[in-house]
Structure 1
């Protein structure tokens, strides 16, 4: 068991009030015997620079979420290969007032797809932001051959295709929404858009009639856990991966970086259970408030 003085970790982003990160990380701390707290810091705009510099001397580490993943990179004293490739930071380890920066989203995607995607697979990526970039790098790690990218803003899709090609993948950009033939060609479909998220809603971002049992459908959204895309994929007997899988595994990788723990399946199940219970409590509170 790891023991020691109480440590300080947390999450920088905007907004962060509804984040599940404290529940996930603190469930891990209890399991491995670490005395630590995990806080939320809601930080807007350029204030992030002052907060990061303050945490340099106060925290043991912190996570970064939207919209600050690229801004924080300017403060890094060292960075992982994933950060160098993607230009985005989501985990910072503080040692001797030095900020060592990582991107654990890649590990989160990779761990969730492990055993589901065959060597040489094709991934259709919906979106071109941070989660989409992480998915492309994870696909390369898992032995993909091709990525197809569809995004509302074509220029951002072209930029992501450039990253994919630099990784040795075949890449091409298709229209938004993606044409049926692109869906049928893909083995893995990864949704990195907010379509289907609570507060955003909307129909699935693809023609779900093109989904078949050969597909693995991965939706990075975890609120709700069953998005319209996940529901449609299940109805068509496709294999599915929800966004909570990615959220928990990337958190466990951050804890490995901070604490040296093994991100095991046992820890994953415990953290996921804690997160699911928190989601259910939130649903119950909303139901009571509207009754």
Structure 2
């Protein structure tokens, strides 16, 4: 039941036929007893339309997805450090001013550390391979870099991060925005294949493999071994071709829907200015997995 006091939130992007964000947020509103509703704002022309219609409607905040994360950042008056550094935001809060936040990185880091906390240990000499250079890659890389720096404290970071993407300019831009630390560098497909055994964590951030998207993955089945952990942030389908190839080689898999869950939890906390309870998170995760399985 909705009333004149019900607060409106939603997701802004295009296309949005696959999105499960409304289901996650509306379930959290129900579990928490928060008087809110989360809607779908699907349009490919948000850059031309602008945010004024949403603000006039009384919308309190939106999640932002492909292809508007960089644009969303440019619309805000107040931005978080991750958004400012990477020029990309996946959350907008409409308060007295427009606030931009990036929860992608938070969701990714939680997904990785809950799977294996050692994967973000700055003292390990194995390398991390990040695939892609879009908005998700930016947010994830920023948070991983911050986590490694915080965990290292005054010690030298042994962990190296290599970036592999088709857009060389965007990849270089990411490195520049982080101050070009010597432990983050750009690599090529040929180098990756030669150095495959030097990596233990591979993070795939492109839409390739997502339902409705074509294209070839940046890596193939010859790359993977049982010593690798693959984190493909695509969650629909539950297993992309890349994940299937890695599983055949006995690689460990971090499910993409974990990032969807944890970044959504953080957005819920920002929207409602409250803390999500563990039992709510567990309930949403269980129901989310069931929902995804029905979409295969």
Q: TM-score, normalized by length of structure 2?
A: 0.84
C-alpha displacement of 1:135: 2.2
Structure 1 pair 184/201, CA: closer, same or farther in 2 (3 Å)? farther
State the alpha-carbon separation in 2 of the partners of residues 16 and 168 from structure 1: 36
Whether 2:86 is the aligned partner of 1:86: answer yes
Q: Give secondary structure in 2 for the equivalent of 1:226.
A: coil
Q: Provide Cα deviations, 1:171-214, integer angstroms capped at 9, x if missing partner.
A: 22222466313432222101112222223356653243332333
RMSD, aligned CA: 2.3
Q: Provide Cα deviations, 1:204-242, integer angstroms capped at 9, x if missing partner.
A: 532433323332210011111111222232333322112
Give the alignment of 1:5-20 within 5 angstroms.
5-20=5-20
- Check whether the contact 1:126–1:191 (CA below 8 A) recurs between aligned residues: yes
Whether 2:234 is the aligned partner of 1:221: answer yes
- Check whether the contact 1:205–1:229 (CA below 8 A) recurs between aligned residues: no
State the alpha-carbon separation in 2 of the partners of residues 272 and 131 from structure 1: 21
Q: 1:119 aligned to 108, 112, 121, which one?
A: 121
Structure 1 pair 44/251, CA: closer, same or farther in 2 (3 Å)? same
Whether 2:66 is the aligned partner of 1:52: answer no
How many aligned residue pairs are there?
Answer: 277
Partner residue, 2:31: 31
Q: Give secondary structure in 1 for the equivalent of 2:93.
A: strand
Structure 1 pair 167/175, CA: closer, same or farther in 2 (3 Å)? closer
Q: 1:160 aligned to 154, 163, 174, which one?
A: 174
Give the alignment of 1:81-230 within 5 angstroms.
81-96=81-96, 98-114=97-113, 115-120=117-122, 121=124, 122-143=127-148, 145-164=159-178, 166=179, 168=181, 170-176=183-189, 179-200=192-213, 204-230=217-243
State the alpha-carbon separation in 1 of the partners of residues 164 and 195 from structure 2: 9
Q: 2:258 aligned to 231, 245, 249, which one?
A: 245
State the alpha-carbon separation in 1 of the partners of residues 236 and 83 from structure 2: 26
Gaps of 5+ in 2: 149-156
Structure 1 pair 278/72, CA: closer, same or farther in 2 (3 Å)? same
Partner residue, 2:62: 62
State the alpha-carbon separation in 1 of the partners of residues 284 and 260 from structure 2: 10
State the alpha-carbon separation in 1 of the partners of residues 213 and 190 from structure 2: 17
Q: Give secondary structure in 2 for the equivalent of 1:137.
A: helix
- Check whether the contact 1:203–1:228 (CA below 8 A) recurs between aligned residues: no
Q: TM-score, normalized by length of structure 1?
A: 0.86
Q: 2:248 aligned to 231, 235, 244, which one?
A: 235
State the alpha-carbon separation in 2 of the partners of residues 113 and 33 from structure 1: 30
Structure 1 pair 176/213, CA: closer, same or farther in 2 (3 Å)? closer
Partner residue, 1:289: none
C-alpha displacement of 1:27: 1.0
Structure 1 pair 30/116, CA: closer, same or farther in 2 (3 Å)? farther
- Check whether the contact 1:14–1:44 (CA below 8 A) recurs between aligned residues: yes
Q: Give secondary structure in 2 for the equivalent of 1:200.
A: coil
